[in-house]
């Protein structure tokens, strides 16, 4: 692994940082992480430098000695004495930074390859799980530096031009008119969760979103159906689009008029950019690959807790990684990702769902930009005066209000619709 390291360059960087002052020193210390250094002594020294910098301490060849002692690295003080003789200045140190980082990435990739080879020999893990681990390791190995525009003068011209443009905000519209009161169109980078107890209609809500996106807005939608086969999912979409009871379609009890409606809907769907992937084992790598391949404008996942997680961590931690992976993918590809999520079983006794009922992980609440909760009173009380109604609760909206609106649930057609209809 030594051919993937430049110890001399690491020494120059540390020396230059100790010699630098002000903004030059700030820039050097933010350019590398301790783990980017190959030599363990250099890693510990850099960690100490960053700890001192975070604490607002003066950093030079004298103060680093006490800093090392404070953090238990007295034995590394001899390295500082040797570095002082180099005489490196900040400009020289900065020139070495990119090369040291490049080698660090290569070492991490080589180590990742070794771990993947080891995992491949483990009979317990499935290929999908191996890909999930490899994808996670790959993303951790290399995080490109962002050339961010930081001064407001760089951002204001584009922002003002956008505000002057009379075109309404772009995005994927929700399929319900009543949603316009509370929900903005789903925009690039948004991670949306549709949550509910079993039987509330999470799959219906997701298929409504996908159907509306492809047929009304001509957007490309990719649906990951982790429970139902693609044919079963498509039957539900056909029932919703035609107004034919799903039981009639399943039992093949269709009259001539219904067949005509089914043929018309089938032709429209055949021309629509809708993709249904019924792969039970779904990893973040699968999601990212399909977004690229199919040029998706929106992704719907049904449902989140059935995803394939990293097998080397606890399920809760794996779900957190999966959730975070979806949010990162939404940001990187500039599309909304909508995922159905199950509520905790203990929430069955609560008439009104809450965000805290999200099953297994509080990370879902943190990662999501929008969380909607579905609730039907007639599920618990068949003779409810609100039979046929669904409460669509906005539990979280990062850039908008919370609240709720009421829809008509037509589950025999596997769809929700506005009450006005």
Minimal CA–CA distance to 286: which of 307, 316, 257, 314?
307
Q: What is the largest CA-CA distance in the chain?
A: 92
The CA distance from 172 to 369, in Å, is 15
Structure tokens that stand for 212 in this block: 């509306």
Task: Express each pLDDT in 370-393 by its tens digit.
Answer: 999 998 888 777 777 777 788 899
> Same fold for the domain at 2-121 and the one at 177-418?
no
The CA distance from 264 to 85, in Å, is 82
Q: What element of type H or E holds 143?
A: none
- 3-state SS of 272-298 is CCEEEECCCCCCHHHHHHHHHHHCCCE
First to last CA, the chain: 68
Task: Express each pLDDT in 326-376 by its tens digit.
Answer: 888 898 888 999 999 888 765 455 578 887 777 666 677 788 899 999 988
Residue 342 CA, distance from chain mean position: 18
pLDDT in tens, the chain (421 residues): 458 899 999 999 999 999 888 888 888 888 888 889 999 999 999 999 988 887 778 889 999 999 999 989 999 999 998 888 887 888 888 899 989 999 998 888 888 888 777 777 776 666 766 666 676 667 666 665 555 556 777 777 887 887 787 776 678 889 988 887 788 888 888 999 998 888 888 889 999 999 999 999 899 999 998 888 888 888 898 888 888 888 888 888 888 898 998 888 888 888 889 898 887 777 777 788 788 888 899 999 987 776 666 566 667 777 777 888 888 889 888 899 999 988 876 545 557 888 777 766 667 778 889 999 998 888 777 777 777 788 899 988 888 888 888 888 888 888 888 876 5
Second CATH level (architecture) for the domain 2-121: Orthogonal Bundle (1.10)
Q: What element of type H or E holds 206?
A: helix 202-215
Is this model's pTM higher than 0.75 or not? no
Identify the three-state secondary structure at position 195.
Answer: strand
CATH fold, domain 177-418, is: Rossmann fold (3.40.50)
Q: What is the residue extent of each domain of the chain?
A: 2-121, 177-418
Half-sphere exposure of 258 (CA within 13 A, CB side): 14
The CA distance from 58 to 21, in Å, is 9
Minimal CA–CA distance to 230: which of 210, 245, 247, 257?
210
């Amino acid at each position: 692994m030594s051919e993937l390291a430049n110890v001399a360059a690491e020494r120059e960087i540390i020396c230059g940082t100790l010699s630098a002052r002000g903004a030059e020193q700030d820039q050097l210390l933010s350019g590398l992480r301790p783990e980017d250094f190959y030599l363990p002594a250099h890693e510990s020294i850099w960690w100490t430098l960053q700890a001192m910098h975070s604490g607002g301490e003066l950093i030079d060849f004298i103060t680093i000695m006490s800093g090392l002692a404070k953090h238990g690295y007295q034995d590394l003080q001899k390295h500082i004495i040797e570095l002082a003789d180099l005489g490196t200045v900040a400009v020289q140190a900065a020139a070495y930074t990119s090369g040291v980082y490049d080698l660090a990435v290569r070492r991490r990739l080589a180590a990742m390859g070794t771990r993947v080879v080891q995992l491949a020999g483990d009979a317990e893990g499935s290929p999908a799980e191996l890909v999930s681990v490899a994808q996670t390791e790959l993303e951790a190995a290399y995080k490109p530096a962002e050339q961010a525009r930081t001064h407001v003068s760089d951002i204001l011209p584009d922002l003002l031009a956008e505000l002057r443009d009379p075109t309404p905000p772009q995005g994927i519209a929700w399929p319900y008119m009543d949603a316009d009161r509370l929900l903005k169109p789903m925009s690039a980078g948004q991670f949306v969760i549709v949550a509910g107890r079993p039987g509330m209609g999470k799959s219906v809500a997701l298929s409504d979103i996908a159907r509306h996106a492809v047929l009304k807005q001509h957007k490309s939608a990719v649906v990951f159906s982790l429970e139902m086969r693609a044919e079963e999912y498509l039957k539900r979409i056909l029932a919703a689009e035609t107004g034919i009871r799903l039981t009639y379609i399943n039992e093949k009890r269709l009259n001539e008029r219904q067949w005509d409606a089914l043929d018309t809907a089938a032709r429209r769907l055949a021309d629509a950019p809708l993709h249904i992937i019924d792969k039970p084992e779904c990893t973040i790598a699968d999601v990212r690959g399909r977004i690229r391949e199919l040029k998706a404008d929106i992704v719907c996942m049904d449902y989140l807790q059935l995803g394939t997680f990293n097998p080397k961590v606890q399920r809760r931690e794996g779900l957190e990684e999966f959730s975070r992976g979806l949010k990162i993918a939404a940001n990187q590809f500039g599309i909304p990702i909508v995922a159905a999520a199950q509520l905790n079983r203990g929430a069955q006794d609560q008439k009104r769902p809450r965000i805290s009922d999200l099953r297994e992980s509080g990370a879902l609440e943190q990662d999501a930009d929008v969380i909607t909760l579905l609730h039907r009173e007639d599920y618990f009380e068949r003779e409810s005066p609100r039979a046929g109604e669904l409460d669509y609760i906005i539990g979280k909206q990062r850039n908008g209000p919370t609240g709720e609106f009421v829809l008509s649930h037509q589950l025999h057609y596997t769809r929700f619709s506005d009450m006005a209809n």
